[in-house]
Every structure is written in structure tokens, then in C-alpha cells.
Amino acid sequence: MNQEWIALMIGNSRLHWGYFQGDILRQTWDTRHLTEFVNPVKLPKNYLLCDQYLILPLMVASVVPSQTQLWQTYENFYLIKLEDIPLKNLYQTIGIDRALAALGAGERYNFPCLVIDAGTALTLTGIDSDRTFIGGAILPGLKLQFNSLSTKTAALPNIELPKQLGDRWANNTENAITNGILYTVLSGIKTFIDDWLNKYSDSKILLTGGDAKQLYNYFKQDNYEQLESLIVDQNLIFWGMRSLYILQ
């Protein structure tokens, strides 16, 4: 199967694009949310070495209904729904992005798997060897936690996500914020990972989302004993979408 097609994941803050030739993911890129429908889609020259307007099959998953509506009239449009995803026991309001990432993780790295998506929200999603959703957790993403302190308080500064972990015990406000958020989040995630591996010792732990690489680096700097179980893969959602496209 060599047909070209486009995968579009409409996230909370950005559009995530994937260009496929059959089952091969050739390029990925992100853009801002749109304010109006663009037809046909112009694929970026710097990715595809082409500046033509192409009308290709478009497979869409979305967590933002207003953005989804912009694509309803696109030719050869396919909207992924939760019931399309071949995982058991998914609850009705689970995010399509979480479900697709879990499917993609299992398809690429085998089930069972635990997916940690470090995006706008930080989510954990566990699937067992029978492709059954076991459960998970949702908390504010790393950047959202930093931003919330500066926007909801009068005196605390806005701090960018640091590249390095600092000393745990801080002696100034900025470091206290950084350490309070990062060490608490890392400790919390570790408890989920450790509990999951106690139940499913052969499971892979997949990190995905915009802050996945940085989260992995924090675990590495903190000498996490389960570091070798962690895999960073930013394309889990696209692997999930690919498996659905092949089934069509």
C-alpha cells in the first residue's frame, strides 16, 4: 500500500500533522489552530520538498470540536471516533488522543503498555496484554503547572521549564517553585510506574507529548532506577492512526 495520506491530530493547543506513504510515516510537523477552513491542504515545502497543493485522504482525530468543524467539508475526510479504536473497556469520555496513543504504543511496542503523555495535560494510560484499558490518571501538564502559579498569584514569577533539575531544597522563590513542581511530579509518576511494573513486569513505559524528552531527562538526572524501561516516542498517536487507516 503506497497511497499517500495525511494524519491530523487536533490537540488542545496545536495541530499535529503526519504525512504517510502507505504505512510509512515520512514527516511530522505542528501548526497553530486555524481560524478558517483551508482547502486543499498545503503541505510545508521544508518537509516534503514540494510546494504544491495536494488533496490527500485526511484522517482526523480531535479534542477540540470547534477545530473539527473546520474540516467537515474536506474532500476524502475521515473522522476517528472512540468506538473505532480496538481497545476494550474504554470509558465514554476518555480523550481520543489518549486512546490513540495507547493503541499506537501497543501496536508498535506490544501490549501491555503504560503511556505517559506529557502535553498540555499530563496523562497516564495503562493497557494490559488483552488490549483492555486498566485505568490511568490526569493532572496538569508541567508547563501548565508553572504558568498557573504566576497567573493565579500576585507575587510569584512566571518560570520557564528548566533543562536541569536543581537541588531539592531551594533557598529562593524561583528554585522553590521549580523544585516543588518537578520533584513532586516525578515522585508521583514514579509511584504509578512502579505499581504498573509490579503488575505487568514485561510492560514498556512510553513517554510522548511535547515535554516527553524533557521529562525523560529529569528522570535520568534523578537517577531513576527504572530508566531503562522508559522509551520516548513522539509519534504514538500517529502509530495508532496508521493502524486504523490500514484496517479501512
State the CATH number of the domain containing residue 116. 3.30.420.40
Span 38-65, mean pLDDT? 65
Which structural domain range is residue 51 located in? Answer: 4-79
Q: Judge if 225 and 116 occupy the same domain.
A: yes
Is-catalytic flag, 97? yes
Q: Is it the case that residue 91 has pLDDT exceeding 90?
A: yes
* pLDDT tens track for 121-137: 999 999 999 999 999 99
Asked, for residue 241, whether it belongs to a domain, the answer is no
Q: Is it the case that residue 52 has pLDDT exceeding 60?
A: no
Predicted confidence at residue 173, as pLDDT, reads 85
Span 209-225, mean pLDDT? 95
Asked, for residue 239, whether it belongs to a domain, the answer is no
Predicted confidence at residue 77, as pLDDT, reads 86
Domain end point (choices 79, 104, 125) = 79
Q: Judge if 95 and 206 occupy the same domain.
A: yes
Domain end point (choices 56, 79, 102) = 79
Q: Which of 23, 30, 51, 97 is catalytic?
A: 97
Q: Is it the case that residue 216 has pLDDT exceeding 70?
A: yes
Q: Is it the case that residue 8 has pLDDT exceeding 90?
A: yes
Predicted confidence at residue 156, as pLDDT, reads 67
Span 200-210, mean pLDDT? 95
Q: Judge if 152 and 223 occupy the same domain.
A: yes
Asked, for residue 158, whether it belongs to a domain, the answer is yes
Q: Judge if 65 and 143 occupy the same domain.
A: no
Predicted confidence at residue 53, as pLDDT, reads 44
State the residue for C-alpha cell 512510553.
206
Predicted confidence at residue 242, as pLDDT, reads 96
Task: Please give, one letter per residue, the 3-state secondary structure of the chain.
Answer: CCCEEEEEEECCCCEEEEEEECCEEEEEEEECCCCCCCCCEECCHHHHCCCCEECCCEEEEECCHHHHHCCCCCCCEEECCHHHCCCECCCCCCCHHHHHHHHHHHHHHCCCEEEEEECCEEEEEEECCCCEEEEEEEEECHHHHHHHHHHHCCCCCCCCCCCCCCCCCCCCHHHHHHHHHHHHHHHHHHHHHHHHHHHCCCCEEEEECCCHHHHHHHHHHCCCCCHHHEEECCCHHHHHHHHHHHHC
**Domain count across the chain:** 2
Q: Judge if 107 and 221 occupy the same domain.
A: yes
- The pTM is what? 0.88
Greater confidence (148 vs 118) lies with 118
